[in-house]
A and B are shown apart, each in its own frame.
Chain A
Amino acid sequence: MSSKSKRSALTSIGQKQVMAVTGLLLCGFLVTHMLGNFTMFIGSDSFNKYSHALTSNPLIYLAEVGLAALFISHIAMAFRVVLANKQARPTPYHTYKKSGRGGTFASATMAYSGVIALVFLVFHILGLKFGTQYTAVVGGVEMRDIYKTTVEYFQDLTHVIGYIIAIVALGIHTSHGFWSAFQSLGFNHPKYNPKIEFLSVIFGIFIAVGFSAFPIFCFIQGGH
């Protein structure tokens, strides 16, 4: 066997494994983000206190850098993979038909749902994290009134609809991505696979439905 082959970490498999690991960690982020957002349902003070506890912790910068690194690696690998895949078939088929026994809508649209999620991410950060600054006093402590910013942001129906469309796209993305990550990392077992695939769909629905609840809640809170 040749020992001349280059040991590049970025072979086709390496790239997919970076996407798998970063994707699973980002799934973890989505879950914690959602759980945190649930404090909104308890009341404005809970949501503001939660937000303040996060942002006033100096470790937040480290977490943000880590999170950005996850997003950037995941997206960079996605672009590399998609570009390589386009080059792998320079002449398209006259007729190309799926068997119906393989891919799903989610698996066929990963690049599109990913791009929707990316565009959404930019608007999401600009509109909320860097959105209007209000101040509230909770328990004698002055802090950002992120609750007011969020409710106000979602009084605009286009923001509500845009958010729901993007989050449904993200739900579809994760419904394939979650199980796909296990496959890319080499975990495929006839006993556990159906369970992982089922869990993956449930996870996608959980993301789509769970996050959609927030803009609807805010829209209603604003007096609609």
Chain B
Amino acid sequence: MSGSNHDTMSLNLKVWRQKNNKDKGSMVDYKLDGVSPDMSFLEMMDTLNTKLVKEQGDTIAFDHDCREGICGMCSMMINGQAHGPEAETTTCQLHMRKFKSGDTIVIEPWRAKAFPVLKDLMVDRSAFDQIIAAGGFVNVNTGNPQDANAILIGQENAELAMDAAACIGCGACVASCKNASAMLFVSAKISQLALLPQGEVESEARTRDMVAKMDELGFGNCTNEAECEAQCPKGIKIENIARMNREWVKGAFAARK
């Protein structure tokens, strides 16, 4: 163990405060001392909230759940980047050692028309659920589970599907995209199913329906900048977007349903 945890940090925080979804909201400055470099970013936020409670202030609302980087609940734009400056890392897995004492850290919620702010740093990401409900599933006849090896899947497709399925639906792609486009998320969900025999059957209609829902909800268009890929905490690749584009062409011209 290094001795770094003895050196605490002092931080200047600029945090978006908004009472509810009707409130206009504004950036509020906080000074926080005694931050350990070994804390996670969310533990730092907890420390700030403890301080606010002691000062009888209103605590800052933010989403979090597993704090292990797998649930997709934590969000936050940290210094203008989704989940902060570290590549392939969620906010909960980002550590304060990545910052220096005296730093000013700007913390904002995801910004997108389809992700309205509920309170402070919490946004409503149910738009993603609506996209999934529009087609992000496989229709199957339920019954006894079949033998695990009854359907053989090629190694490469299995890997690609698994990579796409690593998407935790946190919305960092939307937040980091200059156009607030949800295409990386939607394409990951389309890909994980399209690459496997169980999902391939309905892929064309699924793509068409999910894309239509995505557009209806007011997400922006992809301009192929790959900022989503760069800021995705799970490293989802834009080759999934290309796959979605292919599936969409097939769906637009060939889907019978």
Contacts and interface: CB of A to CB of B under 8 A. Distances in A.
B206 interface: yes
A102 B221 CA distance: 16
A84 to B, nearest CB: 6
B225 A95 contact: no
B50 interface: no
A93 interface: yes
B111 A93 contact: yes
A41 to B, nearest CB: 36
Nearest to A88: B220
Contact of B209 (A1, A100, A180, A193): A1
A184 B224 contact: yes
B129 to A, nearest CB: 15
Contacts of B27: 94
Contacts of B106: 94-95
Contacts of B14: 94
A187 interface: yes
Interface in A96-116: 96-104, 107-108, 110
A223 interface: no
A176 B178 CA distance: 16
Contacts, number: 162
Interface string B194-228: 00000000100110110111110011111111111
B245 A101 contact: no
A102 B108 contact: no
A95 B80 contact: yes
B252 A9 contact: yes
A91 B230 CA distance: 23
Secondary structure at the B interface, as helix, strand, loop or mixed, is: mixed
Interface stretch (A13-21, A30-38, A133-141, A150-158): A13-21
A25 B85 CA distance: 39
B111, B213, B219 — which one has the most chain A CB atoms within 10 A of its CB? B111
B245 A13 contact: yes
Given A14-B252, A98-B227, A88 B113 contact: yes
Nearest to B206: A1
A9 B248 CA distance: 10
A57 interface: no
Contacts of A12: 181, 183, 211, 214-215, 219-222
Contact of A90 (B113, B202, B244, B247): B113
B188 interface: no
Contacts of A102: 176, 225-231
Contacts of A1: 135, 139, 202, 205-206, 209, 257
B225 to A, nearest CB: 4
Given A88-B219, A103-B227, A108 B202 contact: no
B252 A7 contact: yes
A190 interface: yes
A201 to B, nearest CB: 14
A8 interface: yes
A58 interface: no
A84 B221 contact: yes
A104 B185 CA distance: 22
Interface stretch (B33-41, B94-102, B235-243): B235-243
B87 A17 contact: no
A167 to B, nearest CB: 22
A124 to B, nearest CB: 26
Contacts of B225: 102-104, 107-108
B249 to A, nearest CB: 6
Nearest to A14: B252
Contacts of B257: 1, 3
17 contacts: A3-B205, A5-B212, A12-B183, A12-B215, A17-B249, A85-B179, A87-B220, A88-B113, A88-B181, A89-B112, A90-B113, A93-B108, A96-B178, A98-B230, A180-B223, A183-B245, A186-B249
Given A1-B257, A97-B81, A184-B224, 14 more contacts: A3-B205, A6-B212, A12-B214, A12-B221, A14-B248, A14-B252, A89-B112, A94-B14, A96-B80, A96-B178, A100-B230, A180-B223, A185-B245, A188-B243
10 interchain residue pairs of minimum CB distance: A188-B242, A186-B246, A97-B80, A88-B220, A102-B227, A103-B225, A102-B230, A101-B230, A85-B179, A186-B245
